Amino acid sequence: MSTRVLILGSTGSIGTQALEVIAAHPDRFTVVGLGAGGAQADLLVRQAAAHGIPAASIGVADATAAGVVADALDGGPVLSGPDAMTALVETVDADVVLNAVVGSLGLAPTLATLRSGARLALANKESLVAGGELVLAAAAPGQIVPVDSEHSAIAQCLRGGSAAEVDRLVLTASGGPFRGFTAAQLESVTPEQAGRHPTWSMGPVITLNSATLVNKALEVIEAHLLFGVDYDHIDVTVHPQSIVHSMVTFVDGATIAKASPPSMKLPIALALGWPDRVPGASSACDFRAASTWTFEPVDDAVFPAIELARDAGTRGGCLTAVYNAANEAAAEAFFARRITFPRITGIIAEVLAAADQWSGSPGTVEEVFAADAWARTRARALVARVGV
């Protein structure tokens, strides 16, 4: 039977690649619903037409764009407004929900998916980082399948093994466009430079997060939550080729690595079809040709994002939500050229330093939203105070 897939964030980098995977495997997957923000209404309309999605199974956050989409489809209203993704999850019967929206606004749809019983193919790492233990508590065993390439790699390395055998998780990082830069050089880098990722083509926010190494920082928290491994047993190594997507070192000294050329189609297809692999999802490494893989330590003095995340994660509670929200606000300010690149992590550090009241475990999702809102307000105040 075909797996029914609901895609949140269908117009983005992950969403469009997921639709290509599904179109290439019509025998295995069927799209049953689409959701997006509304910035690309034309694309959403084309996707709906191509996959035969009725208006009732479409969600658009922006109300004006929702009207445009509904008019173009000529089939009645679409779900709209800030809760449209959650409403979509609650309305559309799906076996798998791919959460590929960007930012912690993905938290409510993540929780709605877990409530629905569908498998959550999770690209939106921010929802797990923000929701933390609350998300884990809402999930049935195995209900969350990671799409993020590193976590997909680790899940593959762990197949068939027992948790007691794991010694360390090793996340690989490309190092981003500013690998090897000094702190002084980072002072003058631009959003355009930060947008040129050396190995991956992705949406603008995760591309900037890769440049600051905040992406890797979020991924350390994501790995801690998904695999239950302590922060001091999670390493990050810079691997500029982005061929080894992550590794697991076991108690007997063995390290298992997962390697493939950099393409998100493999982890997307695997998460949609989990636990089965989808033949031809990506090309494979060609070991008949010479190649070189290198690994080097992170320069934590120049790129403090990962250490800040370890600290926030270890302090616990809502501080990972605070970390993420401070970053989202600071990234917005960097895109608007209101702050310099190093101020992004500077602001995260300052917000976290003042965030002791958020170190308790959240009892409800409203507490997470409150921590997120507090951190954004605080970060924006720092932006306004300092400027470029």
Ligand X SMILES: CC(=O)[C@@H](O)[C@H](O)COP(=O)(O)O
Q: Which residues carry a binding-site annotation?
A: 11-14, 37, 124-126, 148-150, 174, 197, 203, 210, 215-216, 219
Which span sits near ligand X by CB under 6 A: 173-181, 302-310, 320-328, 346-354? 173-181
Interaction pattern, residues 191-230, with ligand NDP; x per rule: CB under 6 A: ---------x-xxxxx------------------------
3-state secondary structure at position 102:
coil
Q: Which is nearer to ligand NDP, 166 or 331 (CB)?
A: 331
Interaction pattern, residues 128-157, with Mn ion; x per rule: CB under 5 A: --------------------xxx-------
Q: Residues 10, 104, 210, 320: which binds ligand X (CB under 6 A)? A: 210
At 154, list the tokens: 């680790």
Q: Residues 101, 157, 213, 238: which binds ligand NDP (CB under 6 A)? A: 101
Identify the CA nearest to 118 among candidates 152, 145, 78. 145
Q: Which is nearer to ligand X, 223 or 325 (CB)?
A: 223
Least distance in Å: CB of 124 to ligand X?
A: 12
Q: Which is nearer to ligand NDP, 100 or 348 (CB)?
A: 100
**Residue 269 and residue 181: Cα distance in Å, rounded?**
35
Does position 12 interact with ligand X (CB under 6 A)? The reply is no
Strand order in the sheet with 144-146: 79-80, 58-60, 29-36, 3-8, 96-99, 119-122, 144-146
- How many CB atoms sit inside 10 A of residue 228's CB? 10
CB 9 within 8 A of CB 100: yes
Q: Which does 261 bind (CB under 5 to 8 A by kind): ligand X, ligand NDP, Mn ion, none?
A: none
E-strand stretches of the chain? 3-8, 29-36, 58-60, 79-80, 96-99, 119-122, 144-146, 166-173, 234-238, 244-250, 255-259, 296-297
Would you give the distance in Å from CA 314 to the centre of its chain? 20
Does position 148 interact with ligand X (CB under 6 A)? The reply is yes
Does position 125 interact with ligand NDP (CB under 6 A)? The reply is yes
If phi > 0 it is left, if psi is from -120 to 50 it is alpha, else beta; for residue 188 that is: alpha
At 7, list the tokens: 């895609």
Measured at the alpha carbon of residue 162, what is the angle toward residues 157 and 168, in degrees to the nearest 5? 60
Q: Which does 249 bind (CB under 5 to 8 A by kind): ligand X, Mn ion, ligand NDP, none?
A: none
Least distance in Å: CB of 127 to ligand NDP?
A: 8
User: How many residues in the shown chain lie near ligand NDP by CB under 6 A?
Assistant: 31
CB 213 within 8 A of CB 173: yes
Least distance in Å: CB of 267 to Mn ion?
A: 9
Least distance in Å: CB of 291 to ligand X?
A: 18
Binding residues for NADPH: 11-14, 37, 124, 126, 203
Does position 173 interact with ligand NDP (CB under 6 A)? The reply is no
Q: Residues 25, 119, 216, 310: which binds ligand X (CB under 6 A)? A: 216
**Prior bond to 275 cis, omega within 30?**
yes
Identify the CA nearest to 150 among candidates 264, 26, 21. 264
Q: Enumerate binding residues for ligand X (CB under 6 A).
A: 148-150, 173-174, 176, 200, 206, 210, 215-216, 264
